[in-house]
Structure 1
Amino acid sequence: WGSHTWLAAEASPIGIDAVRKASVTAIAALDEGFFRVRFDRCTPKEKKYLRAMAELGEGPHRSGDIATCLNEKVSSLAPTRSSLITKGMVWSPTHGDTAFTVPMFAAFMKRIVPVME
């Protein structure tokens, strides 16, 4: 974010307009690189799980809430959740809770998959 802000700045000290402008390019760079690489490692079912989490917000979220969002049983989603934990996409801060491992990933999921299937 800092380098994008530095490049967007027209003068010193750096003003809020430069930060706002840089935010657009910083998010685009994350979307095209860091976030996209993580997303591309996931199966279609894992992507649906992540999109359901995004629908619920940044989290953490109860496994039951994610299952309800997907019209599935918690037990049927356990292998998907486990796989996402193994891949480092999500983690379990407490028993039964699931959260994204990367800040802002929920917003990315909503940008890349605008409508839940």
Structure 2
Amino acid sequence: MARLGPGPYRSLDVAEVLGEKLTTPGPRCAQIIAKGMIYSPADGDIAFTVPMFDAYLKRHWSVD
């Protein structure tokens, strides 16, 4: 998600970055939502719960 810049992100866009079908990341997203790292602000959208978390990931994990 961090590769897409500031969110929120369309689920389809995230699936495309991962090279997966739209239905494949669903269970993974559900697990990350349960951990409180992302949430769904609207149907079909996901976003980080922490402001500027995308920038943090880019700085610390070499995300392109």
Q: Same fold (TM over 0.5)?
A: yes
Whichever structure has more strand as a proportion of its residues is 2
Tell me how far apart the structure 2 counterparts of residues 115 and 91 of structure 1 sit (CA, whole Å).
21
Over residues 41-83 of structure 1, what are the superposed CA-to-partner deviations in whole Å (9 max), with x where a residue is unaligned? xxxxxxxxxxxx1110110000000000110112110011001
Q: Could you say which structure has the larger radius of gyration?
A: 1
Alignment of 1:89-104 (within 5 A): 89-104=37-52
Give 1:102 shift.
0.2
| Greater relative contact order structure (CA < 8 Å, 6+ sep) | 2
Higher helix proportion (structure 1 or 2)? 1
SS at match of 2:51: coil
Mark the runs of 5 or more structure 2 residues left unpaired by the alignment.
none
Structure 1 stretches of 4+ with a deviation exceeding 3 A read: none
In structure 1, stretches of 5+ residues that fail to align are: 1-52
TM-score of the two chains, using structure 2 as the length reference: 0.92
Q: CA RMSD in A?
A: 1.0
Aligned twin of 1:61? 9
